[in-house]
Chain A
Amino acid sequence: MNTRKYFVGLIALALIVLAACAPAPTPTTIPPTVAPMAVPTAVPAVAPTKAPTTVPTVAPTATAAPASITVTDDANRSVTITGAPQRIVSLAPSTTEIAFALGLGKQVVAVDSYSDYPVETKDLVKINTYPLNLEQIVSLKPDLVLAAGIQSPDDIKKLADLKLTVLVVGSVNTTFDNVAADIALVGKVTGTDAKAKSITDAMKQRIDAVKAKIAPSSSKPKVYWELDATDPAKPYAPGPGSFINDIITLAGGVNVTANAKTSYAQVNAEEIVAANPDLIILSDAAYGTTPDSVKARSGWSAINAVKNNKVLPIDDNLVSRPGPRIVDGLEAAAKLIHPELFK
């Protein structure tokens, strides 16, 4: 049929045109927009925020910013930074808190939507991280992007492809040593090494102080730490290898879910009742779980902790963000587990 021939002809023409036109555009690179930087002679001091336990401010020593520094970040990437970053974008609450603790508050131009500490973050531009809004980040022209270990490798790759300097801070596993190393890493890259060292030294001192107070005590209360009770019959608790497991042990307690199968374990409520913890710590207090709602769960009234009214909330942000405040978290946990030692 005539129409058929016409169509075949059209298709052939289309194929020829396709083959001929549009040579594959090679993604050319744009030189990174790095604002010309004057070498700062002093690290700006940041006044301590209103948190009860703060990192002591040390008079900032005049550090000349490094000319060019290459480090290996926590995703095993080699990162080179020239001069001290003046426009920092932080993509996680942990990196935000590290940056501010190092006195870089003035250089932080945007944070992710979950960052809420310190209070200075309230007025900063908030970036959407799930999914990652690349246009927003590019339009802010950052010279350093701080990403946490939980950011997916695909996102990191996309940021790197856009010629942005990305530093991955923190792995998926948090430990006290990791966090100290992370603070040192950010300090090295931003020329705030001295401040970083003073922070990590202070953190070590406080951890040792907690250990010293706990050591003479012989009682080790059984602790059930609840992470998520969306389904109260199958709540989530910290298992072996998790950071909170470490905190409970350091704070002088025994984690009743230490023998679970994964580090973020979903346990059966029956196991908790059988384990009969002396103390229940609620990390999910921020999500609406109250001590009363726990006490009201059927079968839980048999637990020691419920009988003795030792169901206590804790600020989850202090233990879930791998930054300087994990020491605050440790101290808060220790106060809950051994109130008699921390009057």
Chain B
Amino acid sequence: MRRKPFLSISILGVLLLAAILLATSLGTVSIPLGDIAGITVKRAFGISIGGAWSETQETIVWQLRLPRVLGAAIVGAALASAGVLFQGLLRNPMADPYLLGTSGGAALTATIALLLPVSFGILGFTLVPVAAFFGALIAVLIVYQIARVGSRTPITTLLLAGFATSSMMASAMSFLMLMNQNTLQRVVLWTMGGISASGWDTLIVVAPLIVVGAVAAFAMAHDLNAFALGEEQAAALGVAVERQKFLTMALGALLTGAAVALSGLVGFVGLIVPHVVRLILGPDHRLLLPAAFLSGAIFLVLADLIARLILAPSELPLGVVTALIGAPFFIYLLRRTKREYTF
């Protein structure tokens, strides 16, 4: 099904805006849309356009909800883009951003950070997100080094090295958790994923990082398309294969690391959103990458909204909601395509 690309992107953009507005309006406390617009304009630009809302509502919208909703959007966008990158790199439909060691590395370093009795605060970041970010990157670096044979990195070796490294780090993390039972709950909650309302500080640092990373990924769309034909074909078409592999891995790890720093391990988005977009809009990376970026954002904003509302005032971990909502939808889409889903 081919759609006009700009129409699709515009529609997705509008849907994202609608999702953000909806998610900011609903919650433990409901706030009308007009007030949200007014509060945003007032706090972001200093212009007062009138309207009556209480200080409590303003605090909730500006300091709690808006950063959280935008955080969900940027994390969803990052994970979906990283998913497209890794699926393109590994040419495997089961590939997700956590496959090459990122999740194991991030989880291990986050656990270590949670256990250290260190008070750390830079730019509003506590130790855990920073540790998770670098843990993800270091893990991918290790995997890359393990899988490298001379100047080449065979894909199968990459996959296996990623799996082994991830398992090793996950075991180390379990060991640490057992030895420190009183932090067990905090670690488990972190691994289940959730956008914490940390205010604007962390968002301001991470969001540009993700946007720049994603835009760089968009530029690689052409090469990724060639890559889908196989490494030899891609080389014949003029793609610098090994360099492309490294760049894709690096960008994917960067996006995943940044996302994990903001939200812990939110599964499923990076795996399924690329497939959903492929089913609807086709596998051309030039459209797939930006569409996945926007769709991931929409998906996670809505998932976070459901996570907050369904058991209010308690909250479901985000990773639980993404799987519960995403899986049936994906199955429905799979069944709906009359022809076989070729990746």
Interface positions of A (Cβ within 8 A of B): 3-4, 7-8, 11, 14-15, 18, 22, 24-25, 27-28, 30-31, 33, 113, 126-128, 130-131, 133-136, 138-139, 141, 152-154, 157-158, 161-163, 172, 264, 266
Q: Does B218 contact A11, Cβ atoms closer than 8 Å?
A: yes
Q: Does B337 contact A (CB under 8 A)?
A: no
Q: Does B28 contact A135, Cβ atoms closer than 8 Å?
A: yes
B5 nearest in chain A by CB position: A3
Q: Does B215 contact A4, Cβ atoms closer than 8 Å?
A: no
Q: List 24 A-B contacts (CB under 8 A).
A: A4-B222, A8-B219, A11-B218, A11-B219, A15-B215, A18-B208, A24-B200, A24-B204, A25-B43, A25-B44, A28-B43, A31-B55, A130-B189, A131-B315, A134-B64, A135-B28, A135-B60, A135-B65, A138-B60, A141-B56, A154-B126, A154-B128, A161-B199, A163-B59
Q: Does A25 contact B200, Cβ atoms closer than 8 Å?
A: yes
8 Å CB contact of A158 from B119, B128, B197, B221 = B197
Q: Which of B24-68 contact A (CB under 8 A)?
A: 27-29, 43-44, 55-56, 58-60, 63-65
8 Å CB contact of B313 from A7, A22, A33, A127 = A127
Docked CA distance A162–B64 (Å): 9
Docked CA distance A28–B198 (Å): 15
Q: How far is the CB of B69 from chain A (nearest CB, A)?
A: 12
Q: How far is the CB of A182 from chain B (nearest CB, A)?
A: 19
Q: How far is the CB of B174 from chain A (nearest CB, A)?
A: 15
Q: Does B182 contact A (CB under 8 A)?
A: yes
Q: How far is the CB of A322 from chain B (nearest CB, A)?
A: 15
Further pairs besides A11-B219, A133-B313, A162-B59: 14, Cβ < 8 Å:
A4-B222, A7-B221, A25-B44, A27-B201, A30-B55, A113-B314, A133-B28, A135-B29, A138-B60, A139-B56, A139-B60, A154-B128, A161-B63, A172-B182
Q: How far is the CB of B57 from chain A (nearest CB, A)?
A: 9
In the complex, chain A residues whose CB is within 8 Å of the CB of B185:
130
Q: Does B342 contact A (CB under 8 A)?
A: no
Q: Does B186 contact A152, Cβ atoms closer than 8 Å?
A: yes
Q: Does A14 contact B315, Cβ atoms closer than 8 Å?
A: no
Q: Does A162 contact B181, Cβ atoms closer than 8 Å?
A: no
Q: How far is the CB of B181 from chain A (nearest CB, A)?
A: 6
